[in-house]
Amino acid sequence: TREILLRKGENHFAFQDVAQRAGVITYTAQLIASADENTFNNRLSAYMDVRGTPAVLLVEGKAGDGREMRSMLRAVGMRVETLLPAQMPLDAEALRGYHAIVLANVDADALGEAAILALDDAVRKLGRGLVVLGGDSSYALGAYRGSALEDMLPVTIDVKNRLDLPTVSL
């Protein structure tokens, strides 16, 4: 909080601040004047996204599915939190604290519709990154076909042109 003196015309003020934590920091300027009867326009807020150490949420289909990915991410200095699908947050706001989410061999049914919608919001609206690692419980085998999870990926789960498949003889 700082008290300032306003002059007639345009006024500019600079300040410095050191962020104590990573995440979204909100700054608010408020004009308090004794003779002002219309205070509805006396406040303005702005925010800044302080990056800090990149945080990654690693969701493993089964414990250990993301072990190698976790090791690689930590080796380059990222903070990694590991969860199972049942522990996945059910709203995008809870995912705001992560810069990226990695699904390591995760079945869509194990995530559930609410978690998939939260993930979709985090990716599309909050700009969080998404990496999906394959395995025996992901993509087509993990029930991604027709889900919002399939829509987020740059691949399709189904074979698009079955007529182009070569014939097989036994």
Task: Inform me whether the pLDDT recorded for 160 exceeds 80.
Answer: no
Give the pLDDT of residue 145.
Answer: 83
142: confidence class by pLDDT, cuts 50, 70, 90: confident
134: confidence class by pLDDT, cuts 50, 70, 90: confident
**Cβ neighbours of 73 (radius 10 Å):** 19
Query: 68 by DSSP, 3-state: which?
Result: helix
Give the pLDDT of residue 146.
Answer: 82
101-137 as b/e: b if 16+ CB within 10 A: bbbbbbbbebbeeebbbbbbbbbeeeebebebbebeb
Task: Inform me whether the pLDDT recorded for 72 exceeds 90.
Answer: yes
Give the pLDDT of residue 4.
Answer: 84
Task: Inform me whether the pLDDT recorded for 94 exceeds 80.
Answer: yes
Which of 24-28, 65-69, 134-138, 141-145 is modeled with the greatest confidence? 65-69
